[in-house]
Chains A and B, each alone.
Chain A
């Protein structure tokens, strides 16, 4: 998959409380969650974001709470992919499980600026900053993660495993 979009750039330790504040967690309606995406770090984000846009952040993106509402809010807001120097571990699992594409690419994350145009090629493992004219190699998913994605996500994988007699 190839994504091309405008960068919304943030620093390090973007936590799930600012991605989707707890005051909105009395629902799991994706559209409603998306209408508050990034609200406490960037109140204008939801007005500015266009379908296909790309969030770029530095280390430890998605730290804090386990709320899966965070990747859901980002995905449904229109963001195509999140590129970061690193991800907090629960957010990383949640992004895979909710189908929000994520890419680990420290150099691209550090260089990118708000408003840059970025092209992310998941299959090729590259991030291209069209504004700055630079191309970077991104980290590949560990083989098991790639298998999960290829098999249609965790719950599809689990159905197969239960069918095979594991844990039932």
Chain B
């Protein structure tokens, strides 16, 4: 029988020859992760249920990234719970402040995820790792607690919704624009319970960073997972991970069969997609950036698990180089990891951004969820490269967030209103 890549990965993890959409399976987990918001609740459930040991201390990742470095006393207390649990159970992959990063940038970059893996995480953006041809999906704290004890997760095998992007994206059109455009077409529940498979010549041209961005936002269409097929770019990325890491040493490459069954196939002409923004208060409320008119802004946030990779910061720097952030705008950079910071120092990206007047943060989810490092006041408006623009997402419920690519966010930081790179006189020089 023919299968999609997602069905093949899940069949492997369930120890079966094949699975079909709708099957309930118990899948073996290759990695389970949680953060400083979701882990404390999971630890409480784990202890309350009477579990005394984790299934494999090397297959659990705990990352204090949301409110860390600790934003207040209560958050510090939650971080302590996670740290003490990590020590007690000798969790190998506990990442302390100074070594941590935003989980969905950090974990693939440190080589912890291999193709064909099954990853679950107590964070909705766990779907990011589909970019390396793995199955990954977000769950809640109790599911994570169960995974820590059991090493398995029950899953309903999702139907797959295939997106085929033809043509070559325009000069300022990134994976973020393709994804916002897609969510705009299908809605925030357009792929509810489904695996989103991204394919087509436009996807082949995208950098790995942009593929991570697209898979990261599968949840914003209701998706269970997002995935991109394995190709040379995947190989290059995986082979650049640390020596001896899982990404370089294990992994099984699966591909969708030509006659695999899809619940839906949507063809999108990528060459016709314009730089796109999501207006308040839903990711599906999209518009072409150039057609928005004069929407003044108070803040720009560039980074996060969605767009906090080196390429994203370089794209922003290419717009901001030699210029100054608008006097009425605070531009905050949230890099994905310490390595991203180091690389941004080495190639001058950080200097360019700081000279332009940006605040460069340590890695943290921070402002994205209105935690700290850039919370908005009532009536304030931001352009952000993050993933959600719900009411209250970045602070006061009376604030507004426009989601955009790093190019559009940087251009907006210069203009003081939602703007395109062309509007601020940018000339495309770099490559993806």
A residues apposed to B, CB below 8 Å:
13, 15, 17-18, 21-23, 25-28, 40-41, 59-60, 63-69, 72, 86, 88-90, 93-94, 97-98, 142, 144, 148, 153-156, 158-159, 161-162, 166-168
Contact = CB atoms under 8 A, between A and B. Distances in A.
A86 B145 contact: no
A60 B192 contact: yes
Contacts of B150: 158, 161-162, 166-168
A93 B74 contact: no
> Which 8 residue pairs spanning A and B have beta carbons closest together?
A97-B142, A94-B140, A26-B74, A68-B140, A40-B392, A60-B189, A155-B49, A22-B369
Contacts of A23: 370-371, 375, 395
B38 A86 contact: no
A72 B32 CA distance: 22
Contacts of A94: 140-143
Interface in B141-170: 141-143, 145-146, 149-152, 154, 156
Contacts of B26: 161, 166
B388 to A, nearest CB: 6
B232 interface: no
Given A17-B391, A21-B392, 9 more contacts: A25-B66, A26-B71, A27-B74, A66-B124, A68-B41, A94-B141, A158-B146, A158-B150, A166-B152
B402 to A, nearest CB: 16
Given A17-B392, A28-B78, A90-B138, A66 B123 contact: yes
Interface string B54-84: 0100000000001100011011011000000
Contacts of A21: 370, 392, 397
A155 B392 contact: no
Among A18, A158, A159: residue with most chain B CB under 10 A: A158
Contacts of A155: 45, 49, 51, 142, 145-146, 149
A162 B188 contact: no
Contact of B140 (A22, A41, A66, A148): A66
Interface in B337-368: none
Sort chain B's interface into a size bin: 35 or more
Contacts of B145: 155
Contact of A159 (B44, B49, B154): B49
A88 B142 contact: no
Contacts of A66: 38, 121-124, 126, 138-140
Contacts of B139: 66, 90, 93
A93 B391 contact: no
A163 B195 CA distance: 32
A46 to B, nearest CB: 15
A28 B67 CA distance: 14
A72 B41 CA distance: 11
Contacts of B38: 66-68
Contact of A28 (B24, B44, B388): B44
B37 A59 contact: no
A41 B189 CA distance: 19
B282 interface: yes
Interface string B386-399: 00101111010100
B192 A18 contact: no
B24 A22 contact: no
A90 B28 CA distance: 19
B97 to A, nearest CB: 16
A19 B67 CA distance: 19
Nearest to A85: B189
Nearest to B223: A89
B40 interface: yes
B16 to A, nearest CB: 14
Contacts of B200: none
Nearest to B142: A97
30 contacts: A13-B188, A15-B390, A17-B393, A21-B397, A22-B371, A25-B37, A26-B67, A26-B71, A28-B40, A28-B41, A40-B391, A65-B124, A66-B38, A66-B139, A68-B141, A86-B189, A89-B192, A89-B193, A89-B224, A90-B139, A93-B139, A94-B141, A144-B156, A148-B154, A155-B49, A156-B49, A161-B152, A162-B149, A162-B150, A166-B152
Contact of B397 (A40, A86, A97, A148): A40
Given A17-B391, A167-B150, A97 B140 contact: yes
Given A64-B388, A68-B141, A89-B192, A26 B78 contact: yes
Nearest to A94: B140
Given A13-B188, A18-B390, A63-B189, A26 B75 contact: yes
B142 A167 contact: no
B322 to A, nearest CB: 36
Contact of B143 (A17, A18, A69, A97): A97
A25 B370 CA distance: 11
A102 to B, nearest CB: 13
A15 B74 CA distance: 24
B159 to A, nearest CB: 12
B280 interface: no
Given A22-B369, A66-B122, A167-B28, A86 B192 contact: yes
B146 A154 contact: yes
Nearest to B28: A167
Nearest to B147: A158
